[in-house]
Amino acid sequence: MLVSKPMPVITLNRPTIIYLYGLPGSGKSFLARSLVEVISAAHVSADRLRGELFARPRYDTQEEAIINHLMSYIAGEFLRTGVSVVFDTNAARFSQRRQIRDLARKHKADHLLVWLQIDHETAYGRTQQRDRRTTDEKFAQVMTKNIFDNKVVGMQNPKEESYVVVSGKHSFTSQKSALLNKLYQMGLVGSGTVQTNITKPGLVNLVPNPSAGRVDMSRRGITIE
């Protein structure tokens, strides 16, 4: 299956598309899969879609265009019927995020950008430890240091855009608290939902993989909203 829609716990007040931004290895797919287990939303995954369509993915411009087009179509169909969507790909550039916002407006849906922040060393170390037997990692791109660096160079940090920042090092329980607080501010969940899901931050994977190189301590500051 290309999309999944588990039994929901929280229903948003209006159809919403939640999309992601962060380094390779920051935990975007883990967050997406975990999120659709607690809110009523469809999980539309670029990695899963690519793995189903291409026996040997090339990750080139043409292939990316096909994946983005299909993801937008699938997400649009869900939004059109009033179903929220977690758009599981790295919305790395201004133009890509603008297209997602346009898609939301077309279907009179809300939109929320989630920026997962993590230091480069930890992120790259995670890409080298992927377990292809797991759902999150099975279809992920094999990441050399050169590929990782090229992807980072091509990323455009959000500017003058509405987003919520979560730490890629925190547990999902902690990430969920930040996300629900933002959804409450947007009028998408009630105060009771937030209060019953508030938790203190829980740190995970604090020590980068030694093989990833020396940690630049100046880049370890994480902003939590």
Name the helix (H) or strand (E) containing 85. strand 84-90
Q: How far apart are CA 105 and CA 80, in angstroms?
A: 11
In a domain, 144, yes or no: yes
Q: How far apart are CA 206 and CA 159, in angstroms?
A: 28
Q: CB-hemisphere CA count at 13 Å for 184?
A: 16
In a domain, 221, yes or no: no
Instruction: Look at residue 181 in the predicted model and tell me its pLDDT.
Output: 94
The CATH number given to whatever domain includes residue 66 is 3.40.50.300
104 lies in which domain range?
A: 3-207
Instruction: Look at residue 200 in the predicted model and tell me its pLDDT.
Output: 53
Give the max Cα distance, the chain: 49
Q: How far apart are CA 13 and CA 189, in angstroms?
A: 6
How many domains is the chain built from? Answer: 1
Q: How far apart are CA 143 and CA 137, in angstroms?
A: 12
**Segment 54-113, tens digit of pLDDT:** 988 898 999 999 999 999 999 999 999 999 999 999 999 999 999 999 999 999 999 999
Backbone angles phi, psi at 163, to 5 degrees: -155, 165
More confident residue, 214 or 195: 195
In a domain, 222, yes or no: no
C-alpha closest to that of 95 among 140, 65, 53, 57: 65
In a domain, 155, yes or no: yes
pLDDT at residue 219 greater than cutoff 90? no
